[in-house]
A = this chain, B = another copy of it.
């Protein structure tokens, strides 16, 4: 990140400062829960433009917790803790922080009063163990918790070599943490001069191109500091995250838009959408604006394509339904596939895929018909029809019919082969709707 223009000495220059997230809890080390708190805080820090280079997970252990504090406070200026604020003996976050910074823990009467009131509302009496939640380091401010009993703290320890260290603690319960973050922590951090620069980003999405191939095409953008462009890939989809740092969302947009446009020009039809777009939502939008409709005939995907097409509310505008022709009798009886062709070419063939697409289009009375027939495995493959071989059929409004052969490969497994089949079918229709 550039800092040439910063007039402040390095230790005080916000460009050199960063935050760290320390999640406390043995349940995280046992894999009992997903660390959604780290993701939430990471997103929030990114949005505020606060650099964040490390996250640590540590168990409910006083010694190891202090070691984690030592490491984090040597690297960062804002330490954000989640978890370990509860009333039981294994909740040790406050004690570890106070011990590490040589501060006594003080029982705060205002916290005791607040907890007592909260118990009264639920017709319960505060237990002795809850008194523990009223102990905070001397000089720390309370980070109020409206929805739970455990308050957090905002603390700038004084007796330490590193100046300007800020400590924030939150309970591990996500809903309580989110509210405390938004209502108190964000205004506090802004009042300290953080978050004046935000990071705003757009996720560009691609289908039909590999991660490395796309990265090579757009390589000139991959080493630029602002906006940054970073590739991601998962389950056949490739994404490019274009992230700009600027004083406002609109200023960030001004940096993103020209890069986005150049990437779209390079990627051509492999680019399909951004952010919340899915292949199904993009296909739906294209059908809706053309006033056209689609129906599906699915064999190996068993309804997956229909499910995807109906994920968005309002899909009844363009999706009328389909036939799950898992058994061959359904291909003949429901879709009118020719039983001689079924015998001659096999259920997994371009000929049958085309007849399925034509059949469902006719039966449902839609403008487009699309079909999938293949070997999802792990059983059912043969030398000529291996697992991963999938045919997609497309029947167009003008009566044209096509089939597309895909070799997804046995190694990818049943679940991914089915996913790739449904996505590829959507992608074929998408490209055809655009080119039309």
Residues of chain A whose beta carbon lies under 8 Å from any beta carbon of chain B: 26-36, 38-46, 52-61, 64, 68, 71, 86-90, 118, 121-124, 127-130, 146-147, 173, 175, 199, 201, 203, 210-213, 215-216, 222-223, 230-234, 241, 243, 296, 298, 300-307, 309-311, 313-316, 319-327, 329-330, 333-334, 363-365, 376-380, 407-409, 411-416, 418
Contacts of A61 in B (CB 8 A): 53
> Is B173 a contact of A234 with CB atoms below 8 Å?
yes
Contact (A325, B321) CB under 8 Å given A43-B30, A54-B57, A216-B129: yes
Beyond A31-B38, A71-B71: 4 further Cβ-contacts under 8 Å? A30-B43, A88-B231, A123-B407, A127-B213
Most buried by B among A46, A129, A364, A376: A364
Residue on B nearest A234 in the bound complex, by CB:
B173
> Is A212 a contact of B54 with CB atoms below 8 Å?
no
Contact (A320, B329) CB under 8 Å given A53-B29, A213-B127, A407-B123: yes
Contact (A326, B334) CB under 8 Å given A35-B39, A87-B211: no
Tell me the bound Cα distance from A127 to B321 in angstroms: 41
Contacts of A230 in B (CB 8 A): 26-27, 32, 60, 90
Residue on B nearest A306 in the bound complex, by CB:
B303
Contacts of A411 in B (CB 8 A): 118, 121, 146-147
Q: List the 8 shortest-distance A-B pairs measured between CB atoms, nearest first.
A: A303-B303, A303-B306, A302-B310, A31-B43, A31-B42, A55-B57, A321-B330, A320-B327
Q: How far is the CB of A237 from chain B (nearest CB, A)?
A: 12
Contacts of A300 in B (CB 8 A): 310
**Which of B121, B122, B222, B296 contacts A88, CB < 8 Å?**
B222
> Is B310 a contact of A301 with CB atoms below 8 Å?
yes
Contacts of A124 in B (CB 8 A): 210
- 5 A-B pairs within 8 Å (CB atoms) are namely A30-B46, A35-B39, A127-B213, A306-B324, A321-B325
Q: Chain A's interface: helix, strand, loop or mixed, by majority?
A: mixed
Q: How far is the CB of A381 from chain B (nearest CB, A)?
A: 11
State the copy count for this chain: 2
Contact (A88, B211) CB under 8 Å given A46-B31, A322-B324: yes
Most buried by B among A38, A41, A304, A321: A321
Contacts of A324 in B (CB 8 A): 296, 303, 306, 321-324
> Is A315 a contact of B307 with CB atoms below 8 Å?
no
> Is B313 a contact of A380 with CB atoms below 8 Å?
yes
Q: How far is the CB of A423 from chain B (nearest CB, A)?
A: 14
Contacts of A215 in B (CB 8 A): 87-88, 129
Contact (A32, B210) CB under 8 Å given A53-B64, A303-B305: no
Contact (A31, B35) CB under 8 Å given A302-B319, A324-B322: no
> Is A303 a contact of B313 with CB atoms below 8 Å?
no
> Is B54 a contact of A31 with CB atoms below 8 Å?
no
Contact (A122, B409) CB under 8 Å given A27-B230, A243-B30, A302-B307: yes
Contact (A68, B54) CB under 8 Å given A130-B212, A304-B307: yes
Contacts of A55 in B (CB 8 A): 28-29, 55-57
Tell me the bound Cα distance from A330 to B365 in angstroms: 9
Contact (A363, B42) CB under 8 Å given A35-B35, A147-B413: no
Contacts of A127 in B (CB 8 A): 210, 212-213, 216
> Is A307 a contact of B313 with CB atoms below 8 Å?
no
Residue on B nearest A331 in the bound complex, by CB:
B321
